[in-house]
Amino acid sequence: MGRCKMINYKDFWGNYIYVFTGRWYFMKKNINKVTIVGTGFVGSTSAYTLMVNGLVSEIVLIDANIDKAEGEVMDLNHGMPFVRPVNVYRGTYEDCAGSDIVIIAAGANQKPGETRIDLVKKNTEIFKSIIPQIVKFCSDCILLVVTNPVDILTYVTLKLSGFPQNRVIGSGTVLDTARFRYILAEKSGVDTRNIHAYVLGEHGDTEVLTWSLTNIAGIPFNKFCNRTGKCQSDFDKELIHNDVKSAAYKIIEKKGATYFAVALAVLRIVEALLRDESSILTVSSFLEGQYGLSDVSLSVPTLVDAHGVEMVLELPISADELSLLQKSGNSLKEVIKTLDL
Ligand code: NAD
């Protein structure tokens, strides 16, 4: 696909039509196309992880700063001999056409001391200019929002796009959940992938660590510690909560931005979507009464497949956790009320 320019037509059966060195080719729909809007730290690192993973065959990069997008494209393309063929190019919104997924990582990021909520007005205005353009050229894709505050901007994207709820998702607390699992893995000396734990609610200051669901091999975390002697069971939950919640602040203070782990989280979500995995991920999506919350997009364990959100899972969390989750959702609803949508 490297030198192959895709023409954004589909035939009657949904097959793509290509032009390759002047000749027309008809190909069965076996390519995955992803567009990334916003090629800053997060967008460009996401493009890199997608490229290295070999999951997609076409990546379009769009940014208001054309030089930035072009520079990232050049840098990525120079790595082409080391990865599976993928067509990476700088595009305009017209090039969104035919994308399976459009990832939105455009907008302001947190500066040291800023909260994610501080970005809401600025980034909502940016989304008002971006979303209609994407929808114009790609009305059947899945929109994956990464820009902060991600839960609120997922809601904003749903309203601005008019897309069905299943096709508008936010990266949500997939990253926070990874941070929580990493900390528990460090404490227990067990592979991170065997730590089952979820962070729910806002990707931000009101997020909730659901200790009631946390387990290793089906055993609650503290019981696992007691049984194996591999870890202390009287660990400080507040300290762990604080470490997860303040991780982004600490990283931003030290290096200015966070992007590696979130890009891997984006890759994981894209993989679940493109491979129709029915994976459980704490993405952000529109709630309609689940956990006693409605008319808000929030991060909770969700089955993710090729349709986007297959099902929001209502898990049996403790009464305290439920109350904190509702508080988190309601605090976002208050912010949403202040937006002119
Ligand atoms: P960045 O400043 O490096 O990049 C933002 C990019 O958006 C820039 O290249 C800018 O030119 C572009 N942009 C701005 N307005 C645009 C417009 N109207 N159209 C197209 N492009 C536009 O920021 P970053 O560090 O890459 O962060 C991007 C966003 O991702 C921020 O909101 C940040 O808070 C968020 N983020 C989210 C998570 C998460 O877990 N959801 C994690 C880290 C960062």
Lowest model confidence (mean pLDDT) among 74-78, 118-122, 154-158, 173-177: 118-122
> Which residue's CA is minimally distant from atom 18 of ligand 1?
126
17 pLDDT tier (thresholds 50, 70, 90):
low
Lowest model confidence (mean pLDDT) among 6-15, 261-270, 317-326: 6-15
Return the best residue to mutate from 146, 160, 207, 264 for the ligand 1 pocket (most ligand atoms within 8 A of CB): 146
**Using a 6 Å cutoff on CB, does residue 203 contact ligand 1?**
yes
Report the mean per-residue pLDDT for the chain: 92
Tokens encoding 157: 């994207």
Q: How far is the CA of 129 from the centre of ligand 1 (A)?
A: 14
**Using a 6 Å cutoff on CB, does residue 46 contact ligand 1?**
no
pLDDT confidence of residue 71 = 98
Lowest model confidence (mean pLDDT) among 53-62, 142-151, 183-192, 223-232: 223-232
**Using a 6 Å cutoff on CB, does residue 39 contact ligand 1?**
yes
158 pLDDT tier (thresholds 50, 70, 90):
very high
pTM of the model: 0.92
10 pLDDT tier (thresholds 50, 70, 90):
low
Domains and CATH numbers, the chain: 33-170 (3.40.50.720), 174-336 (3.90.110.10)
Q: Which of 71, 69, 73 is nearest to 37 (CA)?
A: 69
Q: Which of 260, 261, 267 is nearest to 50 (CA)?
A: 267
pLDDT confidence of residue 234 = 79
The residue behind tokens 């609803």 is 333
Count of CB atoms situated within 10 Å of the CB of 130: 23
221-263 residue pLDDT tens: 989 999 999 888 778 999 999 999 999 999 999 999 999 999 9
Q: Are 242 and 235 within 8 A, CB to CB?
A: no
Please say if the pLDDT value at position 328 is more than 70.
Answer: yes
**Using a 6 Å cutoff on CB, does residue 120 contact ligand 1?**
no
Ligand 1 atom nearest the C-alpha of 62 is 20
Over residues 32-49, mean pLDDT: 98
pLDDT confidence of residue 185 = 96
**Using a 6 Å cutoff on CB, does residue 159 contact ligand 1?**
no
Please say if the pLDDT value at position 30 is more than 60.
Answer: no
Return the best residue to mutate from 42, 61, 118 for the ligand 1 pocket (most ligand atoms within 8 A of CB): 42
Q: Which of 47, 23, 37 is nearest to 91 (CA)?
A: 37
**Using a 6 Å cutoff on CB, does residue 130 contact ligand 1?**
yes
CA distance 105 to 69: 13
Please say if the pLDDT value at position 102 is more than 60.
Answer: yes
> Which residue's CA is minimally distant from atom 27 of ligand 1?
109
Q: How far is the CA of 324 from the centre of ligand 1 (A)?
A: 29
- Which residues are catalytically annotated? 203
